[in-house]
Amino acid sequence: MIAARIAIVSLALPVIAAATGAYAIDPIQQVLQSKQSEWSDGFDAAASTAPAVRGDIPTLSPDIVGAAEHAILQYSDIVANGGWPMVPPEQKLKVGSRGPAVAALRQRLIISGDLDATIGVSNAFDSYVEAAVKRFQARHGIPADGVVGNSTFAALNVPAAVRLNQLSTNLTRLKMATKNLPSRFIMVNIPAAQVEAVENGVVSSRHTAIVGKVDRPSPIVNSKVTEINFNPFWTVPASIIRKDLIPQMQKNPNYITDYKIRIYDKQGNELQSSQINWNSDEATHYMFRQDPGDFNSMGNVKINFPSPEGVYMHDTPGKLLFNNEFRFESSGCVRIQGIRDLVKWILRDTPDWDPATIDQMFVNGQRVDARVASPVPLYWVYITAWANVDGVVHFRNDIYGLDGLEVAAQAPDTQL
């Protein structure tokens, strides 16, 4: 059973202190901890299917602000009328289930607008309920399989008053974040672990992301993408050398050699791993750099932008991780699914970087940097509640504890 993650939060607006130092980067800690190592996954995992609860209006949009205001009125009415019932999380619910828990589930879904009230009262989990559960799951960032398990129970049983307060808190963030938006920008919504490329008020593409762990959070960012690094080296930051690399070397002395990580002293001389005492912190005094290649932690490309925390966005060899429900696994940087398409969009107006040339860079392994002709504004934001212009209301777990609420952020559990 995967332990529940509980976020106890403050009312402050999202200002996140970076915990990763000047070279915030995704860790090697989890690289070899399973047979399905993220270093060796060489394919893009398809995004899970879900009902169409997202349109082409960006999360950062004046239209979304108005929709959130309308959602607050809607949820105020729900709260005034007594909220919604708790769905007993005693056993998994799916098509064919019957009983009082299903009756409570139906009532809960009707109140939140996921199930048509005209379907009627029943204690049976039928295809109508399955479709409503899928809609609910998609609105909450849960894989839309139509089965009520731990993650879905946790989201269903957040009180309506808590959701109302969450909407109010995020309305303030949305108003601040949507002031003076440029016509072309990239947004990373950290709690949703999602990226949007936006142009002229429309989402050009959305990308699933992997963002910072609770103890290594991704920071709020307001910057511009200035450079694309194809087939980059990876310089391991001191924090990861201490927390991850040293323990790995203690377990497997060939770790550095296996993954083509080189060691250099302050004069630029290359050292051998046998020259270092791995039972001390001596390794933190050297530079560790991983060669470019399919095994590289950053994959084939890195998206660079100025940032006090030294974070960036990048590819990853661990494509399977994008299928995870709980995608808070990095050390502050953001890994992006389908990054090649985003890079093409960024370099669209940069001479000599047509789509065919970019495709070739993902094949030839050449170490090349491309300066972006027109730097693209970039915003990493913390939005846990918003609404679409069609009235669909979205919620995400307050993973870093910034909403001033107590909301259970429970990872999936297949044992229920």
**Does a structural domain hold residue 70?**
no
358 and 209 in a common domain? yes
pLDDT: which is higher, 234 or 153: 153
- Determine the pLDDT at residue 329: 79
Q: Which of 353-357, 393-397, 400-404 has the lowest mean pLDDT?
A: 400-404
Q: Which of 158, 173, 25 is nearest to 86 (CA)?
A: 158
**Does a structural domain hold residue 279?**
yes
280 and 222 in a common domain? no
Confidence of residue 317 (pLDDT cuts 50, 70, 90): confident
- Determine the pLDDT at residue 384: 97
* Residue-wise pLDDT tens digits, 16-44: 233 333 333 333 333 323 323 332 222 23
Average pLDDT, the chain: 83
348 and 222 in a common domain? yes
369 and 394 in a common domain? yes
Structure tokens at 133: 């559960």
Give the rounded percent of residues in the chain with a pLDDT score beyond 90. Answer: 63
**Does a structural domain hold residue 75?**
no
Domain extent, residue 137, equals 84-158
342 and 203 in a common domain? yes
244 and 107 in a common domain? no
265 and 154 in a common domain? no
Helix (H, G, I), strand (E, B) or coil at 110: helix
**Does a structural domain hold residue 65?**
no
254 and 120 in a common domain? no
132 and 112 in a common domain? yes
Would you tell me the crossing angle of helices 339-346 and 355-364 to the nearest 10 degrees? Answer: 130
Confidence of residue 278 (pLDDT cuts 50, 70, 90): very high
Neighbours of 68 (CB within 10 A): 24
273 and 141 in a common domain? no
Helix (H, G, I), strand (E, B) or coil at 242: helix
Confidence of residue 90 (pLDDT cuts 50, 70, 90): confident
Query: Rounded to whole angstroms, how far apart are CA atoms 152 and 191?
Result: 17
Out of 290, 307, 331, a domain closes at: 290
* Residue-wise pLDDT tens digits, 297-307: 778 899 999 99
**Does a structural domain hold residue 76?**
no
Per-residue pLDDT at 365 exceeds 50: yes
169 and 148 in a common domain? no
**Does a structural domain hold residue 402?**
yes
CA atoms within 13 A on the CB side of 314: 28
Out of 273, 290, 307, a domain closes at: 290
Out of 109, 134, 158, a domain closes at: 158
| pTM exceeding the 0.85 threshold for the entire prediction | no
Mean pLDDT of 128-151: 96
DSSP type of residue 156: H
- Determine the pLDDT at residue 22: 33
Confidence of residue 380 (pLDDT cuts 50, 70, 90): very high
Q: DSSP labels for 246-265?
A: HHHHHH-TTHHHHTTEEEE-
326 and 214 in a common domain? yes
pLDDT: which is higher, 74 or 322: 74
Give the rounded percent of residues in the chain with a pLDDT score beyond 70. Answer: 82
The catalytic site residues sit at: 314, 333
pLDDT: which is higher, 5 or 401: 401
**Does a structural domain hold residue 66?**
no
* Residue-wise pLDDT tens digits, 211-268: 999 988 999 999 999 999 999 888 887 778 888 899 998 999 988 888 889 999 999 9
- Return the percent helix, strand and coil in the chain, to nearest 5: 30, 20, 50
**Does a structural domain hold residue 415?**
no
Task: Count the domains in the chain.
Answer: 3
